Amino acid sequence: MPQDVTSIQPASVSDVTTILTGPDADRDRLPDALELQLGTDPDLFDTDADTLSDGDEFDLGSDPLSADTDRDGIPDGQEIDLGSSPSLVDSDSDGLTDTEELAAGTHPALSDTDHDGLDDETELRGASDPTLADTDGDDLNDGAERDAGTDPLDPDTDGDGLTDSAELNIHNTDPLLPDTDGDGLNDFGAVNADLDSDGDTLPDAREVNEFGSDPLRVDTDGDGLLDNLEAERGTSLVNEDTDADFLTDFQETRLGTDPLLPDSDSDGLTDFAEHETHATDPLDPDTDVDKLNDGEEITRGTNPLLPDTDRDSLPDGEEVLIGADPLDPDTDNDGVLDSTEVVLETNPALADTDADGLNDGLEISLGTNPKLADSDADGISDGAEVTAGTDPTESDSDADGLTDQQEVTAMTDPLDSDTDNDGLMDGAEVTAGTNPLVKDTDGDGLNDGDEIELGTDPKNTDTDGDGISDAAEVTAGTDPLE
């Protein structure tokens, strides 16, 4: 630091005069003698090259031997240009060094650069702009916001739609309370109860508070429906697809579907899926009128646009109702179309309706009744008859007077009318009481057929009771009846 002029001790008054008024080789307003005392160079106008003459530095109290007297990083000459003190690190005593102020864009000689009532250091610490009196542009300077308790970074501290300045200076509402009077309508709504900025017949207050819509746009969500129409219909003013079915409310209005219901016809398919994917009618749960709703058809794999997907002449819905497969024209693979089975009253889901061992298709080809296990009512199921080779459509396959079941019981052959080949049909033998399994029931040497022809009794070896068997009499030529 330069010596204070009072610390210089000349030998006499004449010496003082000499020091202050002597020669000044560099014309810096400091006599050479004084420069020698101070340590400056009497031949250099600005000894420390800080753009201030040694004389100016002597007058200002800065150090002519140091380019930056206060060591704040700013040369003394620049400080004078800026208006700051070259001898003070913080010229304006605002808590920021002059160097920090230059970096922040604030004035190092002004503690409140923007004159907003807050010193620069406070603003930087609080994140407001020390170079702008009104950081958030709400017409309330930052100092006034601090005093009011509002946020200098938010033009509408309480988020009620009114700027802090408007609340304090115009409406006398509380900028810290969105609903100053606690009536359920925020301050913006209360102040602008009847204002309709966008001319959509909805007051701004309702748009902001009730619907959350933009009072400056007639169609807030851009869905093609005016906000007032959406308000009437109950759709969202801020969401173009109220029911989230991927059709905009406007599209639903054109289609006639309900924009409040993702599935207007309640068929299990969204309106979008019906209109865009399946081409079904989103207003009709059963587009093809087959008694099966469109959603169920998609789930089952049937065609919701064709009433009879498998083309078996039965509507898909009817097939489902009776247990048949609407994707298979012959559900039970019995060779009979499901629709034919319905006409015949057989079960289209059961290959053998009457459980007789023959599937319905085979019974039809054989002429048996697929609904009766024993078509000819002979006591033997149709399947068993086919296996045995008897006629399932005739109760007496060999026409011998005995039903096939009777023959089975009697152990005769239902395919041979005369099992024992005695000339009498099995039925006649049973009627007569002879044995249809034995040619000669009475063992007299004449078979039963011959006895009937002769008139003898096939159950009596000696018809006339003369002690000679019928066969012996026939052989001898006598009359077995006399």
What is the DSSP code string of 135-161? Answer: TT-SSS-HHHHHHHT--TT-SSTT-SS
The DSSP letter of residue 95 is S
Say what the pLDDT of residue 12 is. Answer: 35
Say what the pLDDT of residue 201 is. Answer: 92
pLDDT in tens, the chain (482 residues): 444 433 434 433 334 344 567 898 889 899 989 989 899 988 888 888 888 888 888 888 888 998 888 888 889 888 888 888 888 888 888 888 888 888 888 888 888 888 988 888 888 888 888 888 888 899 999 888 899 999 998 999 999 989 999 999 989 999 999 999 887 778 887 787 778 889 999 988 788 888 999 988 999 999 999 999 999 999 999 999 999 999 999 999 999 999 999 999 999 999 999 999 999 999 999 999 999 999 999 999 999 999 999 999 999 999 999 999 999 999 999 999 999 999 999 999 999 999 999 999 999 999 999 999 999 999 999 999 899 999 999 998 889 999 989 989 999 899 999 899 999 999 999 998 989 999 988 899 999 898 899 998 899 988 889 998 888 999 999 898 98
pTM above 0.85, yes or no: no
Cα–chain-centroid distance for residue 198? Answer: 35
| Helical segments of 264-337, H only | 271-272, 294-300, 316-322
Check: CB of residue 228 under 8 Å from CB of residue 200.
yes
The string over 27-40, giving b where at least 16 C-beta atoms fall within 10 Å of a residue's C-beta and e elsewhere, is ebebbbbbbebbeb
State the SS3 of 278-291. Answer: HCCCCCCCCCCCCC
Say what the pLDDT of residue 13 is. Answer: 35
For residue 63, what are its two tokens? 């150090």
Say what the pLDDT of residue 197 is. Answer: 82
Say what the pLDDT of residue 43 is. Answer: 87
The string over 268-294, giving b where at least 16 C-beta atoms fall within 10 Å of a residue's C-beta and e elsewhere, is ebbbbbbbeebebbbeebbbbebebbb
The string over 137-156, giving b where at least 16 C-beta atoms fall within 10 Å of a residue's C-beta and e elsewhere, is ebebbbbbbbebebbbebbb
Q: Mapping DSSP to helix (H, G, I), strand (E, B) and coil, where does residue 14 land?
A: helix
